[in-house]
Amino acid sequence: TVVRAHACAAGAPQGDMEEPENQALGRSKGGFSTKIHVMVDASGIPLDFILTGGQAAEITQAYTLIEGVQATYAIMDKAYDCDKLIEQLKSQGIIPVIPPKANRKEPREYDKCIYKKRHLVECFIGKLKQFRRVFSRFEKWAKNYMNFVRFAEMSTQPSGPFHLNFDVNGDNKCSNARRACAVIVNYFKHVQRGRRALSILRLTLKFKWNGPLVFFITDYAKSKAKF
């Protein structure tokens, strides 16, 4: 899905090898934008994200997304109708459910009933774009924008991003909470101005984190960010 980028998203320093090319910013028919490539499972839960410039074709990231994936079916729209991709899916033991493009001389057959399940990824994208910091990009750094995407993704889960669950042995099962901590720490590593730290704190408090985690975030912000 394509996300429009605000003018303030431009101008990030170049040369960071860990960042995607041009900070995942580009120009397409929709203007200055970023494209989110996402893959979900049969329950509509996202498995992986990739950010590119808005002009990048979807199929360019499909090979990376499906690498090592174990599944029965791969349901994709006709933009992914490519012989090379179909062969890779079959080599992984995955049945491709992809409608053929109109320019194929010999259209392939596909299961139209199973293809209806593709609505899961569209529904997830719809939920993701309910968040202002996702449907419009303001972040210069691609890593920072990806952190907001991860926050939004966790909040769409059935149990919510802050559901705590401990077993009798004391092992913490709240993977979303752990992931959220990692996202927050990673975000503050790239904070350049205090107002951005304040915005993430407001976001955190709005989601009603438990007390200790809020204190952890507040203390970390005071020590690392310049207010």
pTM of the predicted protein model: 0.70
What is the rounded distance in angstroms from the CA atom of residue 200 to the CA atom of residue 191? Answer: 10
* Same domain (yes/no): 112, 177: no
The CATH number given to whatever domain includes residue 91 is 3.30.420
> What is the residue range of 118's domain?
2-126
Domain termination site, one of 108, 126, 144: 126
> Which is it for strands 73-75 and 95-97: parallel, antiparallel or unpaired?
parallel
What is the rounded distance in angstroms from the CA atom of residue 43 to the CA atom of residue 89? Answer: 20
* Same domain (yes/no): 99, 198: no
What is the pLDDT, as a whole number, of residue 30? Answer: 79
Is 95 a domain residue? Answer: yes
* Same domain (yes/no): 63, 122: yes
What is the pLDDT, as a whole number, of residue 20? Answer: 75
How remote is the C-alpha of 20 from its chain's centroid?
14
What is the pLDDT, as a whole number, of residue 13? Answer: 78
* Same domain (yes/no): 168, 207: yes
Phi, psi angle pair for 74, to nearest 5°: -120, 110
Lowest mean pLDDT among 71-75, 92-96, 116-120, 170-174: 170-174
* Same domain (yes/no): 32, 87: yes
* Same domain (yes/no): 115, 164: no
> Which is it for strands 2-5 and 31-40: parallel, antiparallel or unpaired?
antiparallel
Domain termination site, one of 126, 143, 166: 126
* Same domain (yes/no): 11, 113: yes
* Same domain (yes/no): 19, 122: yes
* Same domain (yes/no): 181, 95: no
Structural domains of the chain, count: 2
What is the rounded distance in angstroms from the CA atom of residue 175 to the CA atom of residue 163? Answer: 9
Is 145 a domain residue? Answer: no
For residue range 44-86, list pLDDT tens digits in order. Answer: 888 889 999 999 999 999 999 999 888 999 999 999 999 999 9
Is 217 a domain residue? Answer: yes
* Same domain (yes/no): 65, 167: no
Q: What is the DSSP letter of 56?
A: S
Please state at what angle helix 83-91 crosses helix 59-66, rounded to 10 degrees: 10
- The token pair at 129 is 């774009």
Domain termination site, one of 126, 149, 179: 126
* Same domain (yes/no): 24, 91: yes
What is the average pLDDT value for the chain, to the nearest integer? 76
What is the pLDDT, as a whole number, of residue 17? Answer: 63
Is 169 a domain residue? Answer: yes
For residue 117, pLDDT over 70 is answered with yes
Q: Answer whether 53's CB lies under 8 Å from 79's CB.
A: no
